[in-house]
Chain A
């Protein structure tokens, strides 16, 4: 078997789990899910105009996070409602402009088709995202608990949130090859909620989340290959199974 998809999925899964752990604490799970759908029009444009769909996805996501960030700081409209709007609109646009024969791949990913360049790029970016987030973790957690306390300690929380969203955009764009736009939200959220069941402190929570993400990616691709199944759904089902198992070890 070809190991590149497997290794890529492990790294993307790990970084999705790592970033997802912060997203769940921030109660931004919906944002993650919505962002993954925002990627679809970008992927479609890449497929139609023959450039790398990951780039297209990142472009669309970057636009998406600008909107989310702007809404958070500049308007009084309910962010949740607007995210719901943006996500359905972009999904609709994406569905209309994606060529029929490419639609399944765009929606559910096809990591078996990943090129060496894309694979290496995904691995490097995954590692970079984890390293950058590690440097911001303490500030981000403090601002999650209390935005004003963080600001009182001279943390620029608006900037911090923006950087975080950019990192999320990078990971979601990478994950699109692995599990596709429809399911990427799951790879960001499920490892984190599973980890939350079994971890007491912050450090173990974040590490476990990354580990569960990596395991979901690796085991999912392995099983999908072994039984000739679509990789995206298998990855998500593996992570959901891990979540079920963690329920039995839940720390009270």
Chain B
């Protein structure tokens, strides 16, 4: 393992009962990189993230860099509008103090500062978590993951609930964080355009590791066809 290796995975397999969920995955993630995991529904993307977190029984090796701090953004939270929990309380569970809450909110682009303090309290901090819009909700969840200054962020993209414009800003945000604070990002994504635009490496998953490498190299029409079947549409943007 080199100094820059954040995560090294070798021959990782996961089975639930008799069904194989992940089969012999091997890949490395380096410091400051963004790695995207793509694949059709049921291909094991979320399971892979949970396995990397140590929550799933597995075979093979998962080696994180020593003393690494991991932030995790799960795909969904069980929270309804009526759930009596304010954003402030949700962040306080993890944050040591108010300053830390403000710091992470600023990082995710929720404006703070002296003049906005009242506005922030009223519209975000004292609101119930369940009433936030999809985009605000994602930002708050990411903010929570950033408390304690993690080295790596594991982001499981929600399948729904975030509108397109909101979704784009979430990606801008993730990759801004990657650049600004050197955060290593591992994300599950459903949007190939986003992957192509932002990710350094992509892992194509369909229980097996279909491909791994730079998106512009490995995301060929043939690979995508074998990953998603015939129906996948992908427009290669030129920048």
Which residues of A pack against B, CB within 8 Å? 25, 138, 141-142, 144-146, 148-149, 151-153, 196, 199-205
Contacts and interface: CB of A to CB of B under 8 A. Distances in A.
Nearest to B50: A148
B128 A146 contact: no
B114 interface: no
B82 A201 contact: no
A138 B94 CA distance: 9
A145 B77 contact: yes
30 contacts: A141-B85, A141-B93, A144-B78, A145-B78, A145-B83, A146-B76, A146-B77, A148-B53, A148-B55, A149-B72, A151-B53, A152-B53, A152-B70, A152-B74, A153-B94, A196-B82, A196-B84, A200-B84, A200-B86, A200-B128, A201-B84, A201-B85, A201-B86, A201-B89, A201-B128, A202-B84, A202-B85, A202-B86, A204-B84, A205-B84
B79 interface: yes
Counting chain B residues whose Cβ lies within 8 A of the other chain, the interface size class is 20 to 34
A202 B126 CA distance: 11
Contacts of A196: 82, 84
B79 A145 contact: yes
B84 A199 contact: yes
Contacts, number: 55
Contacts of B53: 148, 151-152
* A-B pairs, 7 with minimum CB distance: A205-B84, A201-B86, A152-B72, A138-B93, A152-B53, A202-B85, A145-B77
A211 to B, nearest CB: 15
A149 B84 contact: no
Contacts of A138: 93
B79 to A, nearest CB: 5
Contacts of B82: 196
Nearest to B92: A138
A26 to B, nearest CB: 10
Contacts of B126: 200-201
A151 B53 CA distance: 9
Interface string B152-178: 000000000000000000000000000
